Amino acid sequence: MDFSDPHFERPLLLLSALLVAGLAFAGLRWAEHRRLTGLAGFAAERLLNRLLSGHSAGRRLTKDLAVAAAVLLLGFAAAGPRWGYRTTAARASTEDVVFVLDVSKSMMAGDARPSRLARAKSSVAAFVKAKGTGSVGLVAFAGQAFLQCPLTRDYDAFHRALEETDTGVIQVPGTDIGRALEEAEAAFAPNRSRKLVILITDGEDLEAGGVDAAKSLARKGMVTHTVGVGTAAGGTISVVGALGTLETLKDSEGAPVVSRLDEATLAKVAEAAGGRFLLLGAAGEGMEALRLAVEAGTDSAHAGRQGVPREEWFVALALLLIVAETLLSTRRRDAAQAS
């Protein structure tokens, strides 16, 4: 059996499982305490000792622990345990693609002409036009992320949303790749077979959550490709000034701000998600190469890989504990032998 990459699909349910199991155990112990207190109030001490002479407090505790453990195991099953991988076949025509486009101020750097953002938008439009099949969606992000265009086969609607996407659609500054990937995940329908995420950015992940988010998507069968926009040498950033003209963005000391492509971060995100990292290039050749690889099905060795559900193991153990609890008597061993 393959035990690689053990994880839970819904880890937040683990805390609920622990809480419910703890409450169940506390409730059982309280009920036992109430029963013994009631007997003590009803019978004299000598009679009470005779009534409890065959009762095993240890066995009662074991039964209560078994019930609590069974509840905990059922909670773990509800959390979606996964380990190992299985591969599912998927035709390219059925794939959904969500483009995750960086619209932070750094995308206005001039090391790609006329700007990083304009070059990225042009390449995405060319990708969709040549793709011709399947649904496409668009997420814009900076310090926050927003679904600009839900998954659709209406390419005209997608292109309109793409044209309207600029640095003004996200008011929170920064670059949060992790949040952007989470927004992309939410855009997918759960019943689709192959799900691709294409992240187009300069790679400056200011919140440093991109790799963890990419791993989470990979565990759910989604492949994330990263496309780097810009150059390692970088470029200055043009912004609209108070008079409506383009000005060079400057830091607090008056020096021009230079934004550089962070290839290392984008490579790590792609590796974590089983995808590819490519440079966009001056003419968008990186995006075209990615499109051809996607169509050929050679874009990722992990395409179609999903974690194997293992709920049945936890449910089986829970049922085994419940059966054992019902068969275990609370009578002392010596009392049972004497009778």
The pLDDT assigned to 21 comes to 92
- Which residues lie closer than 8 Å to 267 by C-beta, 6 or more apart? 226, 277
| 230 and 332 in a common domain | no
Where in the sequence is the domain holding 22, given as residue range(s)?
Answer: 7-85+309-338
| Position 209 in a domain | yes
Q: Look up residue 334 and give its two tokens.
A: 């010596």
Segment 97-113 mean pLDDT:
91
| Position 49 in a domain | yes
Per residue, the 3-state secondary structure of 214-258, as one string, reads HHHHHHCCEEEEEEECCCCCCEEEEEECCCCCEEECECCCCCECE
| 57 and 162 in a common domain | no
Q: How wide is the angle at C-alpha 278 spanned by C-alphas 296 and 223, nearest 5°?
A: 55
Segment 49-78 mean pLDDT:
83
Q: Averaging pLDDT over each range in 35-39, 214-218, 319-323, which range is the top one?
A: 319-323
CATH number assigned to the domain comprising residue 212: 3.40.50.410
What pTM was estimated for this model as a whole?
A: 0.65
| 255 and 241 in a common domain | yes
Segment 162-182 mean pLDDT:
91
- Lowest-confidence segment of 18-22, 151-155, 170-174 by average pLDDT: 170-174
| 322 and 292 in a common domain | no
Report the number of distinct structural domains present in the chain. Answer: 2
Segment 218-239 mean pLDDT:
87
| 155 and 79 in a common domain | no
Residue 74 has pLDDT above 90, yes or no: yes
| 37 and 56 in a common domain | yes
Segment 120-141 mean pLDDT:
92
C-alpha count within 13 angstroms, C-beta hemisphere, residue 329: 9
Rounded to whole angstroms, how far apart are CA atoms 180 and 177? 5
| 219 and 119 in a common domain | yes
The pLDDT assigned to 338 comes to 47
Q: Averaging pLDDT over each range in 109-118, 127-136, 137-146, which range is the top one?
A: 137-146
| Position 1 in a domain | no
Segment 187-197 mean pLDDT:
78
| pLDDT band at residue 91 under the 50/70/90 scheme | very low
More confident of the two residues 27 and 113: 27
| 214 and 143 in a common domain | yes
Q: Averaging pLDDT over each range in 97-101, 188-192, 253-257, 294-298, which range is the top one?
A: 97-101
- Lowest-confidence segment of 42-51, 76-85, 87-96, 126-135 by average pLDDT: 87-96
pLDDT, tens digit, for every residue of 48-60? 566 566 667 788 8
Q: Averaging pLDDT over each range in 6-20, 62-76, 186-200, 293-307, which range is the top one?
A: 62-76
- Report helix, strand or coil for 321: helix
| Position 191 in a domain | yes
| Position 59 in a domain | yes
| 114 and 32 in a common domain | no
| Position 326 in a domain | yes
Give buried/exposed letters for 105-122 (b at 16+ CB in 10 A, else e).
bbbbbbbbeebbbebbbb
pLDDT, tens digit, for every residue of 243-283? 666 778 787 788 888 889 999 999 999 988 888 999 999 88
| 180 and 318 in a common domain | no
The pLDDT assigned to 277 comes to 93
| 58 and 24 in a common domain | yes
| pLDDT band at residue 85 under the 50/70/90 scheme | low
| Position 278 in a domain | yes
| Position 233 in a domain | yes
